[in-house]
Chain A
Amino acid sequence: MQNISMTINGKPVSGDVEGRTLLVEFLRNDLHLTGTHVGCDTSQCGACAIHVNGIIVKSCTMFAADADGALVDTIEGQANADGSLNKIQQAFQDHHGLQCGFCTPGMVMAAADLLKNNPTPTEAEVRHHLDGNICRCTGYHNIIKAIMAASGQDVSAIAAE
């Protein structure tokens, strides 16, 4: 066991982990931050996507000990300070960007990662950025629509039903 500490959603945390403890296991099992999901556990699906030092990573494919000292952001820290949904989350609700919701934490974190560096992406750029996030329900169109809407762009022409 080794003692690690990091800042998660602005709060300092620490804990004892084994070498093999994955970052997602530390979040979910030790800290009970269960918003980050495990879909595949094989680095394919992106349900476990979080931000480490400001960039998106798959927390099922990083050891907790490798994140010692890092700044970590998870879905639990995404809402506005008053508890209301942030712009991306609200857009997912408004545009029906989720069905079962299992992929949604990873989708929201991927969207946040994209919009931080590219505030008005094209539809193709959004799709490219979501290469590592799999959704088995929605068929993606409404997710793309939600992210485009969160970026303040007109989405009336996207996946119009």
Chain B
Amino acid sequence: MYNFDFVKPLNVADALVALASEEAQALGGGQTLIPTMKQRLASPEKLVSLSGISEMQGVDISGNIVTIGGATTHANVALAGAFEGLTGLAGGIGDPAVRNRGTIGGSLANNDPAACYPAAALATGATIVTNDREIDADDYFQGMFTTALEDVEIITAVRMPIPQVSNYQKFEQPASRFALVGVFVAKYADGVRVAVTGASENGVFRWSEAEGVLSTNFSADAILGMSVDSSEMISDLHGTKEYRANLVRVLTGRAVSSAS
């Protein structure tokens, strides 16, 4: 890996100053970025570690909203136990060591097409809070590895409305332990949202047909006969387009049955 300057600011303001210089990049838990740098697919001249910024740490539940600091680790989100779907998702990412370092901000900024958090953010209609604006999850995800984030913009927090019931079902790709397909179902007083990760060439997406059906009849049987368009699904040695499309339906059913 190429060398770089390492800095660890203690607050967001100092982090932004450090990031303003050319070729500087934010470092969350490094669970994606460090392997990427080892392969020389990223070669920042300065890395700005966000892990020392206390205002970006922790999980706060007030009323129906959970607010998660952008540098909060997956392990700490799982520990906080805000709601079933989120707790299960965070506790199932990678392995214990990955969960102790990887952060929600890093996961959402990276927007890997097989990552888990994008499904939670989209299914809950989360608000992605950055240093200078608030972005609706529906506007935030813009395709594989692409988001609404600008160059010098960091995710300082994520706000999720707490669902009445929710569940995340992940079908693991056994080698990487990422989602081959993952489905997050969240039921609110005003309707159901279903977000799918791992499946589409366009990254995380909402399965709106199922949302409509489940909003009037929240049962796994309601979607049994439905099918998912496979034309833009990912196809690789782990599964064909059709296989993934079918998994979307099956996992959505399981998520509805398991939602609590």
- Interface on A for B, CB 8 Å cutoff? 2, 18-20, 22, 41-43, 46, 49, 55-58, 61-63, 65-66, 68, 110, 113-114, 129-133
Among B8, B34, B35, B100, which residue has its beta carbon within 8 angstroms of that of A56?
Answer: B100
CB closest chain-B residue, reference A63: B6
Q: Are A58 and B97 in contact (CB under 8 A)?
A: yes
* Chain B residues positioned under 8 Å from A42 (CB to CB): 35, 38
Among B6, B51, B94, which residue has its beta carbon within 8 angstroms of that of A132?
Answer: B94
Q: Are A19 and B3 in contact (CB under 8 A)?
A: yes
* Chain A residues positioned under 8 Å from B98 (CB to CB): 43, 58, 132
By CB atoms of chain A within 10 A, which of B2, B75, B97 has the most?
Answer: B97
Q: Are A66 and B31 in contact (CB under 8 A)?
A: no
- Taken together as a complex, chains A and B put the C-alpha atoms of A15 and B98 apart, in Å, by 26
Q: Is B241 part of the binding interface, using a Cβ–Cβ cutoff of 8 Å?
A: no
Question: Can you give 14 contacting A-B residue pairs, CB < 8 Å?
Answer: A2-B6, A18-B3, A20-B1, A20-B37, A22-B34, A56-B96, A56-B100, A61-B31, A61-B35, A63-B34, A66-B49, A68-B8, A131-B177, A132-B97
Assuming the A-B contacts A43-B35, A66-B49, A131-B177, are A20 and B2 also in contact, with contact meaning beta carbons closer than 8 angstroms in the complex? yes
* Chain B residues positioned under 8 Å from A18 (CB to CB): 3
How many contacting A-B pairs (Cβ < 8 A)? 74
Q: Are A19 and B35 in contact (CB under 8 A)?
A: no
CB closest chain-A residue, reference B4: A19
Q: Are B34 and A43 in contact (CB under 8 A)?
A: yes
Q: Are A55 and B75 in contact (CB under 8 A)?
A: yes
Assuming the A-B contacts A19-B3, A61-B31, A61-B35, are A66 and B96 also in contact, with contact meaning beta carbons closer than 8 angstroms in the complex? no
Q: Are B96 and A113 in contact (CB under 8 A)?
A: yes
- Taken together as a complex, chains A and B put the C-alpha atoms of A41 and B1 apart, in Å, by 12
Among B3, B47, B97, which residue has its beta carbon within 8 angstroms of that of A57?
Answer: B97
- Taken together as a complex, chains A and B put the C-alpha atoms of A55 and B73 apart, in Å, by 12
- Taken together as a complex, chains A and B put the C-alpha atoms of A18 and B101 apart, in Å, by 21
A1–chain B nearest beta-carbon distance, Å: 10
Assuming the A-B contacts A43-B31, A61-B34, A62-B101, are A20 and B96 also in contact, with contact meaning beta carbons closer than 8 angstroms in the complex? no
A100–chain B nearest beta-carbon distance, Å: 21
Interface residues of B in 82-106 (CB under 8 A from A): 94-98, 100-101
* Chain A residues positioned under 8 Å from B51 (CB to CB): 66
A144–chain B nearest beta-carbon distance, Å: 15
Q: Are B95 and A66 in contact (CB under 8 A)?
A: no
- Interface on B for A, CB 8 Å cutoff? 1-6, 8, 27, 30-31, 34-35, 37-38, 47, 49, 51, 75, 94-98, 100-101, 177
- Taken together as a complex, chains A and B put the C-alpha atoms of A55 and B76 apart, in Å, by 12
- Taken together as a complex, chains A and B put the C-alpha atoms of A13 and B4 apart, in Å, by 23
Assuming the A-B contacts A20-B1, A63-B30, are A57 and B6 also in contact, with contact meaning beta carbons closer than 8 angstroms in the complex? no
Among A55, A62, A113, A133, which residue has its beta carbon within 8 angstroms of that of B34?
Answer: A62
- Taken together as a complex, chains A and B put the C-alpha atoms of A110 and B100 apart, in Å, by 12
Q: Are A49 and B97 in contact (CB under 8 A)?
A: yes
Q: Are B97 and A66 in contact (CB under 8 A)?
A: no
Assuming the A-B contacts A58-B97, A66-B6, A132-B96, are A41 and B38 also in contact, with contact meaning beta carbons closer than 8 angstroms in the complex? yes
B142–chain A nearest beta-carbon distance, Å: 27
B35–chain A nearest beta-carbon distance, Å: 6
- Taken together as a complex, chains A and B put the C-alpha atoms of A41 and B100 apart, in Å, by 18
* Chain A residues positioned under 8 Å from B101 (CB to CB): 57-58, 61-62
- Taken together as a complex, chains A and B put the C-alpha atoms of A65 and B38 apart, in Å, by 16
* Chain B residues positioned under 8 Å from A56 (CB to CB): 96-97, 100
CB closest chain-A residue, reference B75: A55
The 5 A-B pairs at the shortest CB distance, nearest first, are namely A132-B95, A19-B6, A131-B95, A65-B6, A19-B4
- Taken together as a complex, chains A and B put the C-alpha atoms of A86 and B128 apart, in Å, by 46
* Chain B residues positioned under 8 Å from A110 (CB to CB): 96-97
